[in-house]
């Protein structure tokens, strides 16, 4: 396993290198001059040229990239054009806020969605199944931001139980995490139901039934364990998308995470911050995929690392 982890980790390096080139070229295609945006519309040409020199924007693209990648290999993500602070410091602060929000949203969506899916599969074509699948379809179809506004209207405006935004305490985390996870709840419920029903038709399940193994043991020890393997894959992918795509939810609830930081950086043409955010998002996906592969062996001991 250690050999596999080392191999996968080393394999990330060339991919990250290619990603840095793509990100660097892409952000320099964004219209707008960061120096002029920073100085304002009334700045003189001399002031803009001086700011170009400070931001290294007066150099050719290949030289700008060389400076960027050299600093990056030394652990320096650069300095934000907007905040004039180290990019790594700002990323570290905002990343943990987004990770906290995403983990709570994924956690409750996964727990409730899997339970609903199991309940629907066990009681297939009966009213609990119909109710669970109806709820899951509503969750999948409902726009997340609209659900967030409904929560704010009910629990903040009318009842006054929860704050409308901010990051003060656990109460401020409840509504944004529920909003972020509502769509995934329906997805997990339907996926668990379908996967579990497929596993229940396998020969080893019929053999266990013929041997008189209790239904509860068949479900929890044999069927569910194998049904969760594809769910782990989908959960990892969805978690990565949640981390990098929580922009709207963070905006609705004034949650100062990575999404809001990236949007502000694009608006301000903050090249170092955009590069840092995109590189971090890429690294998140790679690490999540590695964790998913490791989890496979715990769910199915027959699987081995190559």
Q: What is the pLDDT of residues 124-163, one digit of tens each?
A: 878 877 887 888 888 777 777 788 888 888 888 888 888 8
pLDDT exceeding 70 applies to what percent of the chain?
93
| Pairwise pLDDT comparison (50 vs 32), residue with the higher score | 50
* Integer angstrom CA distances of residue 177 from 172, 188, 242, 250, 252: 9, 16, 11, 10, 12
Q: Is the pLDDT of residue 27 over 80?
A: no
How high is the mean pLDDT of the chain?
79
Beta bridge partners of 79: 86
State yes or no: pLDDT of 305 exceeds 60. Answer: no
Q: Where does the pLDDT of residue 306 fall: very low under 50, low under 70, confident under 90, or very high at 90 and above?
A: low
- Give SS3 for 224: helix
Q: What is the mean pLDDT of residues 29-34?
A: 73
Model confidence pLDDT, tens digit, residues 172-216: 888 888 888 887 888 888 888 888 888 777 777 777 777 777 777
Query: What distance in Å separates the CA atoms of residue 36 and residue 201, rounded to the nearest whole number?
Result: 65
Q: Which domains does the chain have, with CATH numbers?
A: 2-73 (no CATH), 96-256 (1.10.3720.10)
Q: What is the mean pLDDT of residues 4-17?
A: 78
| 8 A C-beta contact, residue 273 and residue 23 | no
Alpha carbons 180 and 190: distance in angstroms, whole number = 18
Q: What mean pLDDT is predicted for residues 250-267?
A: 81
| pLDDT of amino acid 301 | 58
Alpha-carbon span 303 to 306, nearest angstrom: 9
Q: Where does the pLDDT of residue 298 fall: very low under 50, low under 70, confident under 90, or very high at 90 and above?
A: low
21-26 contacts, C-beta under 8 A, 24 or more apart: 21/65, 23/274, 23/275, 23/278, 23/279, 24/61, 24/64, 24/65, 24/68, 24/275, 25/61
Residue 210 is predicted with a pLDDT of 79
**Token duo for residue 78:** 């650069």
Q: Please check whether residue 51 is in contact with residue 38, taking contact to mean a CB–CB distance below 8 angstroms.
A: yes
pLDDT single digits (tens) 224-257: 777 777 787 778 778 877 776 677 788 788 788 8
């Amino acid at each position: 396993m250690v050999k596999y982890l080392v191999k996968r980790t080393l394999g990330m390096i060339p991919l990250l290198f290619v990603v840095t080139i793509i990100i660097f070229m892409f952000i320099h295609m964004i219209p707008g001059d960061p120096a002029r945006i920073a100085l304002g519309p009334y700045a003189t040409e001399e002031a803009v040229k001086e700011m170009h020199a400070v931001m290294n924007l007066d150099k050719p693209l290949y030289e700008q990239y060389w400076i960027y990648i050299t600093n990056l290999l030394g652990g320096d993500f650069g300095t934000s054009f907007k905040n004039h602070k180290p990019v790594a410091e700002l990323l570290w602060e905002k990343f943990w806020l987004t990770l906290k929000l995403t983990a709570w949203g994924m956690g409750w969506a996964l727990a409730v969605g899997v339970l609903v899916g199991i309940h629907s599969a066990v009681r297939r074509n009966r009213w609990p199944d119909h109710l669970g699948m109806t709820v899951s379809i509503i969750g999948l179809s409902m726009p997340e931001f609209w659900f967030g506004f409904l929560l704010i209207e009910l629990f903040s405006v009318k009842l006054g139980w929860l704050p409308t935004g901010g990051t003060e305490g656990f109460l401020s985390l409840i509504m944004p995490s529920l909003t972020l996870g509502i769509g995934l709840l329906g997805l997990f419920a339907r996926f668990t139901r379908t996967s579990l029903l497929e596993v229940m038709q396998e020969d080893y399940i019929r053999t266990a039934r013929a041997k008189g193994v209790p239904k509860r043991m068949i479900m929890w020890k044999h069927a569910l364990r194998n049904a969760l393997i594809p769910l782990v894959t989908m959960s990892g992918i969805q978690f990565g998308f949640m981390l990098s795509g929580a922009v709207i939810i963070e905006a609705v609830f004034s949650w100062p995470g990575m999404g809001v930081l990236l949007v502000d950086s694009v608006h301000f043409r903050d090249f170092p911050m955009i590069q840092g955010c995109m590189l971090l998002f890429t690294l998140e996906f790679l690490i999540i995929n590695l964790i998913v592969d490791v989890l496979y062996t715990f769910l199915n001991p027959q699987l081995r690392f190559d």
